[in-house]
Amino acid sequence: MKPVEIAKGIYDVGVKDWNIRDFHGHSTHMGTSYNSFLIVDSKIALIDAVKKEFSDELIDNISQIVDPKKIDVVISNHTEMDHSGGLPRVMHRVGEDKPLYCSKMGQKNLSLHFPQHFNYHAVENGETLNLGRYTLSFMETRMLHWPDSMFTYLNEEKILFSSDAFGQHYAGYEKFDDCVTEDIMLQAKKYFANILLPYAPLILKLVEQVTAMGLDIRMICPDHGIIWRKDPGKIIDAYVGWSRQNSGKKAVIVYDTMWHSTEKMARAIADGLSEQGVAVRPMHLRRSDRSDIMTEVLDARAVVVGSPTLNNGLFPSLGDFLTYMKGLKPKNKIGAAFGSYGWSGESVKLITQELEAMKFEMIDPGVKVQYVPDEKALAACFDLGRKIGQAM
Ligand code: FEO
């Protein structure tokens, strides 16, 4: 793809990964992009590289604007390999003596990824770099979402290069928020739910700090997906809302099933919730990707989890999902468990223990049914749904 000039002398020279469908375990139905930004001024700076496999494409894109050897400084906002994997190749072309700007933790982490002795320059928080008519400021954003993460801000154009924050896994020729539909917000939400959710308190603190600083942001350039130029406040406000986790009247029923008994229970619970005016999303674990389920969990008040008992334990897909959800640390949730069993019936107890460990407010001991739910059992499930709905 041709580089795009996003502001005077500033180019997106990044690449599209059109066909990636599994990004270290997340489903990426719309592919993704690895954005990289070239600033051509008296000095020339490159912000972030791309995944290793796309290094040559990045270098070709840069070469359409300038000879890579003319780049004076390379900036690494984040060490994760979708942005640093191409660094060795880029530094080789740019010149390994050229300064590589990063945070202090960036220097440590890049050194642990690459054996080359790059000419690191670890920036102080708030340090600036003058390129000529443009000046860059560096802002540490530790644990958003790695210890090395930082933002780079272009003062004169008020552009925030935000690394992973505000990104979306989306590959498209459309470059800006005013060129895409509202669907992009779903991709941004999915990105937040699966990558940034554990750090929600830090995000709220950062937004407070940036507001107190009076930092004017005209454009946000994340490392994935589209650039926010029409309304950067929209994605910032969305991040604040998602970080607060003030959920609406919504429930997700996450379950697996062997012979449809637990599934019948899920449907009866969904009916009870729906009767209470709750928006319900029943999600079968082997039909839905865990990252799509977490996207729904993000703004749900209730998460109701069901599993058959298999060999005295949970169905394996539940182990996967509960481990994943626990790591993402969702807050302000109410929960309940349900499941069918043949002869031992541990699943409800095991789910309850897991949800309690995640600090879910458990509002019912749960419903368990031997073999196949009869009308009475389904009525109990319906009542459980109603009870959860009334607790919202
Ligand atoms: Fe897009 Fe944390 O890497």
> Does the CB atom of residue 48 touch ligand 1 within 6 A?
no
> Does the CB atom of residue 80 touch ligand 1 within 6 A?
yes
At residue 33, the pLDDT reads 98
> Does the CB atom of residue 164 touch ligand 1 within 6 A?
yes
> Given a cut of 90, is residue 212 above it in pLDDT?
no
How confident is the model over 49-63, as pLDDT tens digits? 999 999 999 999 999
Mean pLDDT of 365-373: 97
Distance 379 CA to ligand 1 centre (A): 46
Q: Which among 188, 211, 244 is the end of a domain? A: 244
> Does the CB atom of residue 148 touch ligand 1 within 6 A?
no
Mean pLDDT of 197-203: 96
Q: For residues 326 and 340, give the distance between their C-alpha atoms in angstroms, rounded to a whole number.
A: 23
Q: Is 271 exposed, middle or buried (0-12, 13-18, 19+ CB in 10 A)?
A: middle
Is residue 83 among the annotated active site residues? no
Q: Which among 244, 261, 283 is the end of a domain? A: 244
Same domain, residue pair 284 and 144: no
Give the CATH number for residue 277.
Answer: 3.40.50.360
Same domain, residue pair 232 and 314: no
> Given a cut of 90, is residue 41 above it in pLDDT?
yes
Share of the chain above pLDDT 90, in %: 97
At residue 380, the pLDDT reads 98
Q: Which atom of ligand 1 is nearest to the CA of 81?
A: 3
Q: Which among 210, 244, 278 is the end of a domain? A: 244
> Does the CB atom of residue 17 touch ligand 1 within 6 A?
no
Q: How many CB atoms lie within 10 A of CB 231?
A: 11
Same domain, residue pair 302 and 378: yes
> Does the CB atom of residue 83 touch ligand 1 within 6 A?
yes
Under the banding of pLDDT at 50, 70 and 90, the label for residue 1 is confident
How confident is the model over 111-137, as pLDDT tens digits? 999 999 999 999 999 999 999 999 999
Residue 392 token pair: 């919202």
Same domain, residue pair 94 and 233: yes
Is residue 275 among the annotated active site residues? no
> Does the CB atom of residue 292 touch ligand 1 within 6 A?
no
- Which of 141-145, 211-215, 224-228, 322-326 shows the lowest per-residue confidence on average (mean pLDDT)? 211-215
**Where in the sequence is the domain holding 124, given as residue range(s)?**
4-244
> Does the CB atom of residue 250 touch ligand 1 within 6 A?
no
Q: At what angle do helices 200-213 and 232-244 cross, to 10 degrees?
A: 140
Same domain, residue pair 201 and 91: yes
Contact in structure between 301 and 334 (CB atoms under 8 Å): yes
> Given a cut of 80, is residue 195 above it in pLDDT?
yes
Same domain, residue pair 65 and 208: yes
Task: Report the candidate in 391, 341, 344, 327 with the shortest Cα–Cα distance to residue 364.
Answer: 391
Is residue 17 among the annotated active site residues? no
Same domain, residue pair 209 and 259: no
From 12, 41, 80, 289, the catalytic residue: 80
Residue 47 token pair: 């912000």
From 17, 57, 82, 263, the catalytic residue: 82
Is residue 78 among the annotated active site residues? yes
Contact in structure between 138 and 101 (CB atoms under 8 Å): yes
> Given a cut of 80, is residue 46 above it in pLDDT?
yes
Q: Is 214 exposed, middle or buried (0-12, 13-18, 19+ CB in 10 A)?
A: exposed
> Given a cut of 90, is residue 235 above it in pLDDT?
yes
Same domain, residue pair 194 and 220: yes
Same domain, residue pair 235 and 255: no
Give the CATH number for residue 10.
Answer: 3.60.15.10
Distance 48 CA to ligand 1 centre (A): 11
> Given a cut of 90, is residue 335 above it in pLDDT?
yes
Mean pLDDT of 211-219: 91
- HEC assignment per residue over the chain: CCCEEEECCEEECCEEECCCCEECCEECCCCEEECCEEEECCCEEEECCCCHHHHHHHHHHHHCCCCHHHCCEEECCCCCHHHHCCHHHHHHHHCCCCEEEECHHHHHHHHHHCCCCCEEEECCCCCEEECCCCEEEEEECCCCCCCCCEEEEECCCCEEEEECCCCCCCCCCCCEHHHCCCHHHHHHHHHHHHHHHHHHHHHHHHHHHHHHHCCCCCEEEECCCCEECCCHHHHHHHHHHHHHCCCEEEEEEEECCCCCHHHHHHHHHHHHHHHCCCEEEEEECCCCCHHHHHHHHHCEEEEEEECCEECCEECHHHHHHHHHHHHHCCCCCEEEEEEEECCCCCHHHHHHHHHHHCCCEECCCCEEEECCCCHHHHHHHHHHHHHHHHHC
> Given a cut of 90, is residue 65 above it in pLDDT?
yes
Which sign does the torsion angle of CA 123, 126, 130, 135 carry?
Answer: positive
At residue 213, the pLDDT reads 87
> Given a cut of 90, is residue 259 above it in pLDDT?
yes
Residue nearest to atom 2 of ligand 1 (CA): 80
> Given a cut of 90, is residue 173 above it in pLDDT?
yes
Same domain, residue pair 14 and 77: yes
> Given a cut of 80, is residue 208 above it in pLDDT?
yes
* Strongest mean pLDDT among 184-193, 200-209, 245-254: 184-193
Residue nearest to atom 1 of ligand 1 (CA): 164
How confident is the model over 7-21, as pLDDT tens digits? 999 999 999 999 999
Same domain, residue pair 85 and 212: yes
Under the banding of pLDDT at 50, 70 and 90, the label for residue 82 is very high
Total count of domains within the chain: 2
Is residue 82 among the annotated active site residues? yes
> Given a cut of 90, is residue 211 above it in pLDDT?
no
Same domain, residue pair 137 and 280: no
Is residue 164 among the annotated active site residues? yes
Distance 76 CA to ligand 1 centre (A): 12
Mean pLDDT of 348-357: 98
> Given a cut of 90, is residue 246 above it in pLDDT?
no
Contact in structure between 131 and 41 (CB atoms under 8 Å): yes
